[in-house]
Amino acid sequence: MRETGPLPADHPPVAAKKIGVLLVNLGTPDAPDKQAVKRYLKEFLSDKRVVEIPSIIWQPLLRGVILNTRPAKSAEAYSLVWTEDGSPLAFYTRKQAEKLADAIDGVMVDWAMRYGNPSIKSRLDVMKAAGCDRILIAPLYPQYSGATTASVHDAVFDAIAAMRWQPAIRLLPAYHDDPAYIEALANSLERDIAALDFEPDAIVASFHGMPQRTLELGDPYHCHCQKTARLLSDWLGKELVVAFQSRFGRAKWLGPATDEVLESLAGQGKKNVAIFAPGFSSDCLETCEELAIRGKEQFEAGGGEKFAYLPCLNDSDISLAMLEKLIRRELSGWI
């Protein structure tokens, strides 16, 4: 057997082996302006997991109409929720990563966005350069969907496909029915509802919408959302009103639609309402603007009186305890 000699003097040093965890969320533009939003939407809406229309039909529509009309309106919405720390989604995802890094010794914890910055590829490159030869990818989507979770998986394996020396990869499964997640949601809801100055007549669980076609093609997302709501209702001892938000385009989407539900509740005698978004791990445009601002307007337009948006788990102690439990479980055998 040939003995291995010393490395050449100009050979890059081999970093000590490390274990990594990469938290991944959906994404956000770099700024609340038209050009940044246009770049973000172009990347997002060009993902074939997100829009399952043949490119020959979709791309001319996207580039010719949507990217010339929608960015200005979306930028205005982003400006309403932007803070001195930037996008709420990026801020909370970064804080989650920082707090998890403090909680789990000996593990490098980083964060990335599926669309926008920091990209999955850029952070995997950094983690590998730092010596991570085993990396757990944690998509922060409790309910699995091809348009979200699977798209993250695609981006991860596209990134490592270009690597000669690939790290071992694990993927955090959907946790829509995990007791740790249900307990975290319940504890957060009970705390926030107790702090209100009114007793809600109804509690609305608003999940992000998906085209009805995805359910018919076998995507488990709708079933995952319904199971989350059922388990949470059982825990709380209160029936939740399930709805789906963020419809886009003319195709039929999962229902009932959140805006229509909010407009109709007062007519059903439910004048005081609280709403929350259990499918989002962090507050973002869809919660801070679509629910907290427009949702309130829709509810009041329908005759509602008192309205409260209850925040996502974000980087709360409740959230971090849940995430740490899920991630430690998936790192079993590595740490």
- Is residue 247 one of the residues assigned to a domain? yes
Does 290 lie in the same domain as 277? yes
Among 331, 323, 333, 325, residue whose Cα is nearest residue 96: 323
CA 95 – CA 98 distance, rounded (Å): 5
Residue 246: which H helix or E strand, with range? none
Tokens of 104: 């789990």
Asked if residues 119 and 113 have their Cβ atoms less than 8 Å apart, the reply is yes
Does 89 lie in the same domain as 45? yes
The overall pTM is greater than 0.85: yes
Half-sphere exposure at residue 51, Cβ-oriented, CA atoms within 13 angstroms? 20
Asked if residues 37 and 44 have their Cβ atoms less than 8 Å apart, the reply is no
Could you tell me which residues come within 8 angstroms of residue 250 by beta carbon, excluding any fewer than 6 positions away?
A: none
Does 203 lie in the same domain as 149? no
Does 157 lie in the same domain as 66? yes
Does 72 lie in the same domain as 57? yes
CA 90 – CA 112 distance, rounded (Å): 9
Residue 113: which H helix or E strand, with range? strand 107-116
Tokens of 126: 């950094």
Does 243 lie in the same domain as 157? no
Q: What's the length of the chain?
A: 335
Q: What is the CATH number of the domain that holds 282?
A: 3.40.50.1400
Q: pLDDT tens for the chain, 335 residues: list them.
A: 444 455 565 555 555 789 999 999 999 999 999 999 999 999 999 999 999 999 999 999 999 999 999 999 999 999 999 999 999 999 999 999 999 999 999 999 999 999 999 999 999 999 999 999 999 999 999 999 999 999 999 999 999 999 999 999 999 999 999 999 999 999 999 999 999 999 999 999 999 999 999 999 999 999 999 999 999 999 999 999 999 999 887 789 999 999 999 999 999 999 999 999 999 999 999 999 999 999 999 999 999 999 999 999 999 999 999 999 999 999 999 99
Q: Residue 81's domain spans which residues?
A: 18-174+319-330
Does 128 lie in the same domain as 227? no
Asked if residues 31 and 71 have their Cβ atoms less than 8 Å apart, the reply is no
* Residue with token string 């009041």: 300
Q: For residue 251, count CB atoms less than 10 angstroms from its CB and return exposed for 0-12, middle for 13-18, buried for 19 or more.
A: exposed
- Is residue 54 one of the residues assigned to a domain? yes
